[in-house]
Structure 1
Amino acid sequence: MKKTWGLSAALLLAATLFAPSAEAAVDTSKKETEVEKPNLNEIRLLGTNNEDWGFIEEKEPNNTFTQANKISTDDLVTGTFTNKDKDLYKLTIDGDEEVNIGLSIHTEEETKMDLSITVYDEKQKKVDVFDELTDEFGYFGDYYLKPGTYYLEASDLKNVNSGEMYYLYSYVYEEEPYIERIDGKDRYETSAFIAARSSGGYPVEHVFLATGQDFPDALAGSPLASMYAAPILLTKQNSLPDITKSTLQLLNAKSVTILGGTGAVSTQVEKSLKQLGIEVDRIAGKDRYATAAAIADELPPTDEVIVAYGRNFPDALAMGPVASMYMMPILLTEKDTLPKATVEALKSYDTSFVVGGTGAVGSKVFKQLPDPDRISGKNRFDTSVAIADYFDLDPFQVTIATGDHFADALSGSVLSYGTPLLLTPKTKLDPTVKAYVEQNETLMFTILGGPGAVSEKVEDDIWDLFE
């Protein structure tokens, strides 16, 4: 059956499920106009309606094979370790063919524990791992297992005994796409859902706020938002939408940086933020080029810079995940002339990546840039693929957004950190994008925006690749 999930990964599901309660996230003493709608739990639990996932808490004692807690694939388990503790889980794999299964044990934040999973077969013989990764959050192992019964031994090799909660989950890799769509009734709700997803519903210190009515001031914001591990939310020019307000409260944001001047986000919005007890600052210049340069000044020093056309949005947006990953500033230009603010800002860089063809950034401008290299395709869709290829982005998971509007890709540029952000027409999967995901055997797709932005026909085109 063809399904489009509202869940990008089990870790995000774990973080969402264990987010603080709505009561903890919101001061219920505030006036109704500041708090009541929309329902915060609906935002927080976005994506947890996948009925295939089970949610299980560890039951002690489970320290021996005979005491092992029974679980199934697609179960999400939470537990803790006491002194010299080992938690055992009994996993049953159904079917009649060998499956490739991923097993992960992680914490929500960096941990001092050295988390590990050891797999034993029904005869309690250790099973070899195909591949494994460890980091400051936990452990992931990739196994090929035949149908049958297995035991998973979860442990902390350092025996920190901190009482810190871990999340253990299993996932069966299938040769079919995993498609999720993040969408709301409008661009403001979509940006709120993207923010909730990227944070897992957990508090964030800082949020960036941009107008949802025009693109220039926010085009350069993705690397700075990434530096702060902060989402980008959207607002109307003269009023803070209820969904944006509620999301700020859900995330328990302490401070907000507004991107752009008062012509983009008014002082009335600033006042509404302060009424929520949020500190507010603003990064703005006299125009879009000066604003981009001002944002660049806030980033750590680097030799490399991205230069994109400032009168349209697709090229700069498709470059957002790269800018976020490498903390590269995005400066804007006219087609045939370099704005004064951009000229001054470019003095700080030795290498420039020019996004888009000569119809966007002309040859005259190109020659004035520091050691320039052009990344372009025949159109905005091709260019988004060219970016993915040029920077060798991991194609296992891609984000799909409309190339006709800016709002969804703007909010999603931070979510897509380090992975391709591919643009497509509304009514079909662009042929170049289609060839890219087919050639790279992409399996995970995140679609930003509702069917009005990226139609269900795009989903059908993805499914057709696997038939």
Structure 2
Amino acid sequence: MKKTLATTATTTAAAALLVGLVAAPAQAAPGFAFDQRISGPDRFATAVAASKLLEPVDGNGTDVVVVNGYATVDGLTASYLAGLRSAPILYTDTGSVPAVTAAEIERLGVRDVWIVGGTDRVPQAQQDAWAAAGRTVHRIAGADRYETAAMVATADDSGDAPEQVFIATGTGTADALAAGPIAWARNYPVLLTEPGTVPAATAAALTELGTANRVVLGNAVTDAVYGQVAGTQRLAGADRQETAAKIADDAIATENFDSQSVALVGGTDATAADALAAAPVAGAGGVPLLFTGFDGGLGDGTSAYLTAHEGNYVSAGDGWVFGGEPSVPQRAVDAATALVQ
């Protein structure tokens, strides 16, 4: 199932709110601000808030992707699967399905539940309960994160080879998450590798996909592995903030993402869940993601990106924040707004 941003944008009211692809003037409008925060009291509720923005019409969501909210490494590649199904990403816990998640699945009218991760992350009892409720449940899970990613990457049964594949380290989260909106919007799989060696499952998936355009994300992947996976491009900066900025620039330059809108998410490993939940919404609107710094500030890479693109941000665009105050402090949001005024 292949999408373009134009066709995706017509599927939900959320996308219509997010997309604003018009020529940018020379300087930012004084009214542009990061004033649209999508959040809840925890990661489960934040994911639900993002889902409601993606699909505001009750009963209109046929599919949902579910991952463990505290083991997002299993879901690093879930943005691609969610994009294939035009679906949101929701979180569960090993003990039980959070009430907000269960309510959102009901509100959406989900017919197909796609689980990413094994029964140690999303227990069989939860799968059985969804099936008993009349839903078709699909589980994608391998022996480890690399095999799981490979299985997700090869889950499209349309017969169409993806135009591009992302390859990122499996020992960190940020680089893969920064490309999540693109993976969702463009149906680009995300494969994982060890920093110094290519797992057999990843190599096999690359062969099965047969995609020549292979973009490596971040500097954690060594040059040797870059050669082994036959990389065609590397998008990387000095840190995760700068790498996200490089990915954002490429999304605007080559994937028709909106140069006038931008989203902030927390840049720490603890806030990775917000970035994954944001991917479907940002992907639907063609909005690039940027990471804030580790100290509650913006970080040098994000600050430099916003300063360089100040002239793009006009009243037609949107400044988004995914995650609550603990994830993206208001002082970082205010600093971002000040940079683009």
TM range, smaller chain:
0.7 to 0.9
Q: Helix, strand or coil for the counterpart of 1:461?
A: helix
Equivalent pairs, count:
304
Q: Helix, strand or coil for the counterpart of 1:189?
A: helix
Alpha-carbon distance in structure 2 between the residues aligned to 1:305 and 1:370: 11
Give the deviation of 1:437 after TM superposition.
2.3
Give the deviation of 1:285 after TM superposition.
1.1
Query: Please, which moves more after superposition, 369-378 or 231-240?
Result: 369-378
Give the deviation of 1:15 after TM superposition.
5.0
Q: Helix, strand or coil for the counterpart of 1:181?
A: strand
Amino acid at match of 1:269: Q
Please tell me whether the aligned partners of residues 395 and 437 of structure 1 are also in contact (alpha carbons under 8 angstroms): no
Query: Which 5+ residue runs of structure 1 have no aligned equivalent?
Result: 1-10, 17-105, 109-132, 134-139, 143-172
Give the deviation of 1:217 after TM superposition.
1.5
Counterpart in 1 of 2:98? 241
Counterpart in 1 of 2:303? 434
Residues 69-99 of structure 1, C-alpha deviation per residue, up to 9 Å, x if partnerless?
xxxxxxxxxxxxxxxxxxxxxxxxxxxxxxx
Amino acid at match of 2:298: L
Amino acid at match of 1:369: V
Counterpart in 2 of 1:302? 162
Structure with the largest fraction of helix: 2
Structure with the largest fraction of strand: 1
Counterpart in 2 of 1:459? 333
Alpha-carbon distance in structure 2 between the residues aligned to 1:260 and 1:465: 40
- The structure with the largest alpha-carbon Rg is 1
1:367–1:271 CA distance, 2 compared to 1 (3 A): same
* Aligned pair partner of 2:214 in 340, 345, 352: 352
* Aligned pair partner of 1:365 in 225, 230, 234: 225
Q: Helix, strand or coil for the counterpart of 1:378?
A: coil
1:466–1:336 CA distance, 2 compared to 1 (3 A): closer
Please tell me whether the aligned partners of residues 346 and 370 of structure 1 are also in contact (alpha carbons under 8 angstroms): no
Give the deviation of 1:397 after TM superposition.
1.0
1:452–1:303 CA distance, 2 compared to 1 (3 A): same
> Taking structure 1 as the reference length, what is the TM-score of the superposition?
0.61
Q: Helix, strand or coil for the counterpart of 1:465?
A: helix
1:41-60 superposed matches below 5 A? none
Query: Which 5+ residue runs of structure 2 have no aligned equivalent?
Result: 1-8, 24-28
Please tell me whether the aligned partners of residues 39 and 324 of structure 2 are also in contact (alpha carbons under 8 angstroms): yes
1:218-367 superposed matches below 5 A? 218-299=75-156, 300-347=160-207, 348-357=210-219, 360-367=220-227
Please tell me whether the aligned partners of residues 47 and 91 of structure 2 are also in contact (alpha carbons under 8 angstroms): yes
Counterpart in 1 of 2:26? none
Alpha-carbon distance in structure 1 between the residues aligned to 2:70 and 2:128: 19
Matched, 1:196 2:62: no
Counterpart in 1 of 2:5? none
1:398-413 superposed matches below 5 A? 398-404=262-268, 405-413=271-279
Please tell me whether the aligned partners of residues 169 and 193 of structure 2 are also in contact (alpha carbons under 8 angstroms): yes
Please tell me whether the aligned partners of residues 36 and 319 of structure 2 are also in contact (alpha carbons under 8 angstroms): yes
Amino acid at match of 1:433: T
Alpha-carbon distance in structure 1 between the residues aligned to 2:84 and 2:121: 23
Q: Helix, strand or coil for the counterpart of 1:406?
A: helix
Residues 303-333 of structure 1, C-alpha deviation per residue, up to 9 Å, x if partnerless?
4211000011000000111222221110000
Report 1 or 2 for greater relative contact order, CA contacts < 8 Å, sequence distance ≥ 6: 2
Residues 361-399 of structure 1, C-alpha deviation per residue, up to 9 Å, x if partnerless?
012211111243111000000000011112324221111
Query: Percent of pairs identical after alignment?
Result: 32
Amino acid at match of 1:410: L
Alpha-carbon distance in structure 1 between the residues aligned to 2:85 and 2:299: 33
Please tell me whether the aligned partners of residues 349 and 370 of structure 1 are also in contact (alpha carbons under 8 angstroms): no
Alpha-carbon distance in structure 2 between the residues aligned to 1:416 and 1:141: 17
1:380-399 superposed matches below 5 A? 380-391=240-251, 392=253, 393-399=257-263
Amino acid at match of 2:319: F
Please tell me whether the aligned partners of residues 238 and 269 of structure 1 are also in contact (alpha carbons under 8 angstroms): no
Matched, 1:422 2:302: no
Please tell me whether the aligned partners of residues 210 and 234 of structure 1 are also in contact (alpha carbons under 8 angstroms): yes
Alpha-carbon distance in structure 2 between the residues aligned to 1:220 and 1:466: 32
Counterpart in 1 of 2:6? none
Alpha-carbon distance in structure 2 between the residues aligned to 1:382 and 1:183: 24
Q: Helix, strand or coil for the counterpart of 1:281?
A: strand
Please tell me whether the aligned partners of residues 317 and 409 of structure 1 are also in contact (alpha carbons under 8 angstroms): yes
Please tell me whether the aligned partners of residues 34 and 333 of structure 2 are also in contact (alpha carbons under 8 angstroms): no
Give the deviation of 1:277 after TM superposition.
2.9
Alpha-carbon distance in structure 1 between the residues aligned to 2:340 and 2:250: 26
Please tell me whether the aligned partners of residues 240 and 272 of structure 1 are also in contact (alpha carbons under 8 angstroms): no
